[in-house]
Amino acid sequence: MVTPPWRLNEVLDKAQNGPVCLETDFDLKLLVPTLRRVIKEYGISFDPATPVPMDGNLVDSLWEAAFDLYLEVGTLCTDTYRRILFTEEEMKEALGNFPGKFTLGFGRDSRELSYRKIEDSRRPFCMFTPDITCDEDLFLSMSMAYLQEPLADGVCAPILDEIEGIPIRSGYPSEVKGSVAHAMMFREAARRVGRPGIFLKSVGTAESDAAQIAASNTEWGERLTDGRFVASVTELKVNNSLLNKMVHFHTYGCFVGALTGPILGGYAGGPEGTAIVGLAYHLQGLMVNQAHFMVYFPFHLHHTCNTTRELLWVLSTTYQALSRNSNLASMSAGYAAAGPCTPMILREGATHALASVVSGANLWIMAAAKNRHKNYATPMEARMAGEVGCGVAKERISRTDANDLTLSLLKTYESNIEDAPLGKNFRECYDIQRCKPSEEYIELYKNTRKQLENLGVPFVY
């Protein structure tokens, strides 16, 4: 079976010559009414008592609703005002030819990323990441701290917002300079911890297409065994810059990820609509972003996290629907409300991993403090999510048990989502020179883990 890209020129032609549509019309006259129709027609309903559902008919209906939605709505290119539409036959052809697994990284550090089944006993692929901006003088230490984590199959680096005292601005020369420095330092960090071939996902510093292209260099920058992102514009949109990245990444030959995050409380509406749009995003990721893997982070409009009851249901149903109806490889990205060195974020990470992995997801872990605060992330949050996620697979936890555990865990932090503690930043949590967590955080981690084990939460070791 062939890998992406799927008929690259077809996508580019549709982006230039598809039906004309204004952005407001796409949102209000097409997406929202169609979404309301499919929710009603397919009988989709959120049950707060089951954040990890066990209903195969529900998730199959979600898939059918999403397929119906995407078939009718498609993707809008906001630069050309053209809708990118596909036929049912085209989508089924692309889904049928998707290989379902890829080897990422190279040599002894390479790992296989594949689609997973519901209640799969295979270990999830664990992508560790701070998912936040950091000070330039912290970039190397923070990257090394994540890269040395044993459960990390790959790492996505922190993001620079300043280079040598110059603010980085998208589309400016400072962005190119900062993105090249990002790629160089990340490669150095991987070599310094003894994992030169590990899968590296970059370059988050590069927002523009020009800066991403500048970082493509097998000698010092982004390699063919590394991954790059083609994101989306909320909801179900792209632009020429994103399509430029997609074309370049494929002609360069690296792995492509689709970064997608429907907003609960926005045009997607409630949990039902958010799950349907999330599945439609996976179809867009395959057809338009031409991705080898998806990174999926639905989040709450006001809370800016996805560890709430509603979002856990969205994640669980999305991944169950994917597992039952496709072989797409997707990672569930955790967005916590609390910050580092707090019991709450460790519980949030455990809950996110539990609900995601049992439903068929791989892991992208772990954004902290609502992904808003510079330097507020450490590998300890990712470690907790990774240990629980791999434990779920190893112990072959059922969805019934996972739902009971999720409900128990929600009781420990759900009421604090809105006013979650900020915690401490990386400098306060880690020895910068030794890339080692503080004794305070180590002790907090041990105590929280013991509490979780007493509740029945599985750990990989």
Q: What is the pLDDT of residues 245-281, one digit of tens each?
A: 999 999 999 999 999 999 999 999 999 999 999 999 9
Flag whether 226 is in a domain. Answer: no
Flag whether 343 is in a domain. Answer: yes
C-alpha–C-alpha distance, residues 129 and 113, integer Å: 16
pLDDT digit string, tens, across residues 215-252: 999 999 999 999 999 999 999 999 999 999 999 999 99
Give the whole-number percent of the chain exceeding pLDDT 70: 100
According to the model, what pLDDT value does residue 202 have?
A: 83
Flag whether 203 is in a domain. Answer: no
Q: What kind and span of H or E run contains 166? A: strand 166-167
State the total domains in the chain.
1
CATH code of the domain containing 428: 3.20.20.460
Token readout for 191 is 């070599």
Scan for tokens 């967005």, then name that residue: 335
According to the model, what pLDDT value does residue 300 have?
A: 95
In terms of Cα–Cα distance, which of 187, 330, 162 is closest to 258?
330
According to the model, what pLDDT value does residue 14 have?
A: 98
According to the model, what pLDDT value does residue 12 have?
A: 97
Q: How many CB atoms lie within 10 A of CB 23?
A: 12
pLDDT band at 3 (very low <50, low <70, confident <90, very high): confident
Determine which of 2-16, 153-167, 224-238, 245-259 has the lowest per-residue pLDDT on average.
2-16
Flag whether 46 is in a domain. Answer: no
Compute the average pLDDT of residues 388-414.
Answer: 98
Token readout for 393 is 């697979």
According to the model, what pLDDT value does residue 19 have?
A: 98
pLDDT digit string, tens, across residues 25-36: 999 999 999 999
C-alpha of 237 from chain center: 17
Token readout for 351 is 């809950």
Flag whether 293 is in a domain. Answer: yes
Flag whether 76 is in a domain. Answer: no
**Per-residue pLDDT for 1 more than 60?**
no
Residue 454 class from Cβ within 10 Å (0-12 exposed, 13-18 middle, 19+ buried)?
A: exposed
What's the mean pLDDT when you consider all of the chain? 97
Flag whether 404 is in a domain. Answer: yes
Which domain covers residue 125, as residue numbers? 101-135+256-455
Flag whether 304 is in a domain. Answer: yes
